[in-house]
Amino acid sequence: MSHCQPDPCWHQLCLTAQCDTDSSSCTNERQVAVLFRGNPLPCLHLNLLGGMSASIDGRSLPALDGTKAGLLLVRLLLEQGDQIARSALAAMFWPNLSPAAARSNLRQHLFQINRQLDACNGDFIDATPEHVRFNHTADVVVDVHTLLQARDDPASIADALACYRGPFLAGIDDRIPSGEILQWVLDRRGFYWRQAVDRLERMASALRGADRGGEALPYIERFLQLDPLDETLHRLKLATLLDEGLADAARRQYEQCRDILEAELGVAPGAATEALRATAEDMLSGAQ
């Protein structure tokens, strides 16, 4: 990677790319931006969380935004450079076609990807007659990588969580065939959600340990809006409110959790959630 836009989600990744061992040469975003203004090479940006959008230095690539060609590019990219057999890709993306017709469609879509990415530096797709892989020496910035590469400090995690705008490839389900490729999307979607929640928990824990737990609450609330049925998030908000001494708010949060789980899933909160409710009740009783 040689160049990236000053998007908040990419700030940390840009910083990593530009700062090697000499930290004094690159101490803030302004200095990073100066480095970029020299003679930057084109860079492909992919946003995969909350939909899909592709751009080259701010120029959008609508032919890759949530299309089958775009999904093919993403499927290759996230294989971490491993080769995939053409026959496997063809069957995955066109399961209802004959092998010959599916391979023909695969060739056309690979050609479309390469044509869209002509302006970028380097080749993105390495292809042989039998295999295809993504070239990981190419210049590319991907929001899911920013999420996964976050360090443990709260500021780094906050930057990474800003990239999580919604579910992985949201909205693409109705445009792809059921079967292997749809299952792959759903599996990845669950994986990135769990990774985001894990980082949110780590950030909240670090802030609570520094008596700054209240700073985590807006992040927790945003993720609850994305998935109000995730009991882990309700517990995280409950625990953070209790650490802040907000027992009444914690009790109300428990009631919201209980009501939505019962209404949507027909289940009651788990034992860990009930334990937090009991703590809130004890705090309120002691305050009277």
Are 9 and 44 in a shared domain? yes
Are 14 and 134 in a shared domain? yes
Among 136, 170, 203, residue at a domain's last position: 203
Return the percentage of the chain with pLDDT > 70, whole number: 83
Residue 96: which pLDDT band, with cuts at 50, 70 and 90?
very high
The total of structural domains in the chain comes to 2
Are 257 and 129 in a shared domain? no
Predicted pLDDT at 17: 33
Residue 119 reports pLDDT greater than 70? no
Residue 174 reports pLDDT greater than 50? yes
Q: Residue 12 belongs to what domain range?
A: 1-203
Residue 57: which pLDDT band, with cuts at 50, 70 and 90?
confident
Give me 27's structure tokens: 């101490």
Are 101 and 178 in a shared domain? yes
| Burial class of 89 by CB neighbour count within 10 A (0 to 12, 13 to 18, 19+) | buried
Are 175 and 252 in a shared domain? no
In this structure, is residue 214 part of a structural domain? no
Determine how β-strand 44-47 pairs with β-strand 140-142. parallel
CA distances from 171 to 64, 122, 138, 189 (A): 14, 30, 27, 12
Return the percentage of the chain with pLDDT > 90, whole number: 70
Are 70 and 133 in a shared domain? yes
Are 25 and 84 in a shared domain? yes
In this structure, is residue 222 part of a structural domain? no
Among 203, 220, 248, residue at a domain's last position: 203
Among 160, 186, 203, residue at a domain's last position: 203
Predicted pLDDT at 25: 34
Predicted pLDDT at 42: 61
Are 137 and 250 in a shared domain? no
Predicted pLDDT at 122: 57
If you average pLDDT over residues 242-269, what whole number do you get?
Answer: 97
